[in-house]
C-alpha cells in the first residue's frame, strides 16, 4: 500500500485538483484507492458531490475519536473511497494541542486500514498540526507546484518541515514526486519555473505537466471529476497520464512543449489550448458562469477562454524570471544547500 500526501503550504496551487484526479485516475487504472480529505475547506469532498454535512462522520470525528475509521470511509465507486472532511477540522489544532503524541494521532487511527493500493491525502494550505499529522502518516510526498512567479517561494520552509518530520517522527518519509500544475507552455515564465523545478528536484519531477485547463476548474461545481465531465479535455489527458506515471506505467502521450514564439495561426498538431476550449464549447457547452469563485487570498485563475487571450497578451509584462540575480551571493549559498533561488528559511509553523 502506497501512502502519498499532496503537500504545499502555498494556497491554490492545485493540491486538491491533483488529489481528486490522481485518486480517480488510479482507480480507473484498476487500483483500489482511498482519498483522505484533511482540509477543513473540504474541497476534495465537495468535488465528488458530497455536500457539507456537519452530522456526517469525517476525518475530524476520526481524529477526535468519535467515530471509527472503517465506518467513516465512504465508497464512491467500486475502486475509489473517501474519508471526507468537515469544517470542524479547522479547530483540531487547538483540540489536540494538549494530547500526548499529537503529531501521530492520524497515524494511530489509520493504522488498521488495509485493502487499498493507494492512500492519497489532500492537505490544507498550511504547515500546522494537520499537515504534520499527514506527513507522519504517509511514506511519500508529492508536491504540486503552480507554474507561476513565486512558485518556488516558500519551498525552503516546506523542505525544512519535511526534513524535521523525517528526522523526528517518520524516518521513511521521502519526496517522491513534484508536479508542475497550471502549466501554460506558451508563457516563458511557466517554462522557466518548470526548468527551475527540473534543476532542483531533477528526476523527482513528473514528466507529465498539468496544463491550465478550464474544464478542471468547472468540473467540481458539477460534482464530477474531469474524466466524467470532459473526458477528452487536456485536463483529463494530463491527469490520466499523471496517474500512469505514479503507477509506474508508460505514458500514452507526453505533455507537448510549446515554444515562446508560437505562431498565432495554429500549426497542425500544435494547436493552442484555446482551440480545444472552443471545440469543447460547441460540444459540451457547459455554462462557464457556473465556475465557482476562487477563494479569497488566492490569485485569480485563468478559467475562461477570454482570459486565456489576456494571459498571452500580458506575457510581455510578466515579472522577471526566477533565476538568481547576480550579486545575491547569500541566496546562492542557500540555493546550493536547499534549492534553486529559494527564499530564506523560516521556522516551521509547528514546533516539532
The footprint of ligand ATP (CB under 6 A) covers: 11-17, 39, 41, 43, 125, 181-182, 210, 212-213, 216-217, 235, 294, 301, 303
| Residue number, 73 or 216, with CB nearest to ligand ATP | 216
Largest CA distance in the chain: 63
One character per residue 31-70, x = contact with Mg ion (rule: CB under 5 A): ------------x---------------------------
Binds 80: which of ligand ATP, Mg ion, none (CB < 5-8 Å by kind): none
Calculate ∠ Cα 42-145-160, nearest 5°.
Answer: 90
Residue 107 sits in the site that holds Mg ion (CB under 5 A): no
CA dist., res. 35 & res. 115, Å (int): 13
Shortest distance (Å) from residue 11 CB to Mg ion: 8
The set of residues, in sequence order, having a beta carbon less than 8 Å from that of 10 and lying 6+ positions away, is 125, 146, 153, 154
Coil/strand/helix, residue 122? strand
16 touches Mg ion (CB under 5 A): yes
Q: What is the rounded CA–CA span in Å between residue 97 and residue 119?
A: 26
Name residues contacting Mg ion, limited to 256-295 (CB under 5 A). none
Give least dist CB 120 to ligand ATP, A: 13
DSSP letter assigned to residue 223: T
Closest contact distance (angstroms) between CB of 228 and Mg ion is 20
State which of residues 3, 6, 10, 15 lies at the interface with Mg ion (CB under 5 A): 15
**CB of 103 closer than 8 Å to CB of 59:** no
Size of the site for Mg ion (CB under 5 A): 3
Q: How far apart are the first and last CA of the chain?
A: 27
CB of 13 to Mg ion, least distance (A): 9
Q: Are 167 and 43 in contact (CB under 8 A)?
A: no
Q: Compare residues 228 and 329 and give the one whose CB is closer to ligand ATP.
A: 228
CB 182, min distance to ligand ATP, A: 5
User: Would you say 47 and 218 are in contact if contact means Cβ atoms under 8 Å apart?
Assistant: no
Residue 236 binds which of ligand ATP, Mg ion, none (CB < 5-8 A, kind-dependent): none
Q: How far is CA 143 from CA 178, 205, 282, in A?
A: 5, 9, 35
Residues that bind Mg ion (CB under 5 A): 15-16, 43
Amino acid at each position: 500500500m502506497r501512502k502519498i500526501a499532496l503537500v504545499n503550504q502555498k494556497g491554490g496551487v492545485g493540491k486538491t485538483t491533483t488529489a481528486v484526479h490522481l485518486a480517480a485516475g488510479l482507480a480507473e487504472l484498476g487500483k483500489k484507492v482511498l482519498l483522505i480529505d484533511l482540509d477543513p475547506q473540504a474541497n476534495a469532498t465537495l468535488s465528488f458531490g458530497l455536500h457539507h454535512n456537519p452530522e456526517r462522520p469525517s476525518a475530524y470525528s476520526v481524529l477526535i475519536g468519535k467515530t471509527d475509521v472503517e465506518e467513516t470511509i465512504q465508497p464512491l465507486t467500486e475502486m475509489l473511497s473517501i474519508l471526507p472532511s468537515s469544517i470542524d477540522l479547522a479547530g483540531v489544532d487547538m483540540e489536540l494541542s494538549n494530547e500526548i503524541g499529537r503529531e501521530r494521532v492520524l497515524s494511530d487511527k489509520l493504522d488498521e486500514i488495509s485493502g487499498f493500493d493507494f492512500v492519497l491525502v489532500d492537505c490544507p494550505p498550511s504547515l500546522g498540526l494537520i499537515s504534520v499529522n499527514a506527513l507522519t502518516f504517509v511514506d511519500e510526498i508529492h508536491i504540486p507546484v503552480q507554474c507561476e512567479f513565486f512558485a518556488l517561494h516558500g519551498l525552503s520552509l516546506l523542505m525544512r518541515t519535511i526534513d524535521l518530520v523525517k528526522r523526528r517522527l517518520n524516518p521513511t518519509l521521502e519526496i517522491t514526486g513534484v508536479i508542475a500544475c497550471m502549466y501554460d507552455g506558451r508563457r516563458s515564465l511557466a517554462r522557466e519555473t518548470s526548468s527551475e523545478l527540473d534543476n532542483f528536484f531533477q528526476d523527482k519531477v513528473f514528466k507529465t505537466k498539468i496544463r491550465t485547463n478550464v474544464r478542471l476548474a468547472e468540473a467540481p461545481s458539477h460534482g464530477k471529476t474531469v474524466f466524467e465531465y470532459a473526458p477528452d479535455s487536456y485536463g483529463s489527458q494530463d491527469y490520466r497520464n499523471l496517474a500512469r506515471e505514479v503507477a509506474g506505467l508508460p505514458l500514452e502521450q507526453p505533455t507537448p512543449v510549446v515554444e515562446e514564439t508560437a505562431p498565432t495561426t495554429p500549426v497542425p498538431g500544435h494547436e493552442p489550448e484555446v482551440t480545444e476550449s472552443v471545440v469543447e464549447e460547441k460540444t459540451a457547452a457547459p455554462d462557464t458562469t457556473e465556475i465557482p469563485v476562487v477563494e479569497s487570498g488566492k490569485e485569480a485563475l485563468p478559467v475562461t477562454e477570454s482570459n486565456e487571450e489576456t494571459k498571452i497578451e500580458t506575457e510581455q509584462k510578466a515579472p522577471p524570471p526566477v533565476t538568481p540575480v547576480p550579486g545575491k551571493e547569500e541566496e546562492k549559498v542557500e540555493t546550493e544547500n536547499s534549492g534553486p533561488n529559494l527564499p530564506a528559511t523560516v521556522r516551521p509553523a509547528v514546533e516539532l
